Amino acid sequence: MGEGKRGKPSSELERLRIFESLATEYFRMVELFKPDGAALPPDSVEGERRHWVELFRAALLRKFIVRDEHVSLKLVVRALRLCNFRVDRKVAEGTEEVARLFTAEMVQGRRRLLSGLAQDDGPDLFEDVLYGRLLHGDADRFRRSEWADDYSRLSSVAASRFDAEHALRKALDVVSYGLTNELLRQPAVPPDDAGPP
């Protein structure tokens, strides 16, 4: 499944600019809503507030880790490789580090699965919560996410996505460095002819 046409950036350079803006906003949100203090019981008002902030954070992170989203780390790595026209060493090395840091487990949320939640090859658990409960109310996904009323399980599934933040931060640093120093520009070869990401 490839990147959809709807809302697609007009160029790889625009993809990087959009990514820089959205990733900066994401980390600002994380900073603004950072929990203060020790762990709280989930049935307390503050515990419930933290739970909803955590879900919102995981939903905002989605666009960077789901592979076919326009600003996914997969497509940002591809855009960096294509736009690094000066073949800047720092941009190239940073791009490869992002590619190494971004793993399939981050996309599918498998690292912290609790036993009994899903099969290893089953659907993404957080996607079921996102589309079954938070955004759309899809009936099949709602049924598959009935376990989401258990806050500790839901927090564990959402937290599995936060492993991607290190790769996201590195990608933001590389893109910002490349754009600030005018090391990135739209490639001469159309992206479809440039080979796989």
> Would the pLDDT of 194 be above 50?
no
DSSP designation for 192? G
For residue 116, the model assigns a pLDDT of: 40
* CA diameter of the chain: 57
- For residue 97, the tally of other CB atoms under 10 A from its CB is 17
> Which three-class secondary structure state does DSSP give residue 191?
helix
Q: C-alpha angle 187/192/195, rounded to 5°?
A: 85
Q: What is the pLDDT of residues 130-151, one digit of tens each?
A: 888 888 888 998 888 888 877 7
**Which residue did the predictor score with more confidence, 86 or 4?**
86
8 Å CB contact between 94 and 173: yes
Task: Output the CA–CA distances (angstroms, integers) from residue 150 to 17, 67, 98, 157, in the order listed.
Answer: 39, 28, 33, 11
DSSP designation for 77? H
Q: What is the pLDDT of residues 104-138, one digit of tens each?
A: 766 655 444 333 433 443 457 788 888 888 888 88
> Within the chain, where are the H helices?
12-32, 45-65, 73-83, 89-101, 104-108, 125-129, 139-144, 151-161, 165-180
Give the pTM: 0.80
Q: How confident is the model at residue 27 (pLDDT cuts 50, 70, 90)?
A: very high
DSSP designation for 68? T
Q: C-alpha angle 181/85/92, rounded to 5°?
A: 75
As a whole number of angstroms, the distance between CA 100 and CA 113 comes to 22
Sign of dihedral through CA atoms 181, 186, 187, 192? Answer: positive
CB proximity list for 145: less than 8 A, separation 6 or greater: 125, 128, 129, 132, 133
> Would the pLDDT of 2 be above 60?
no
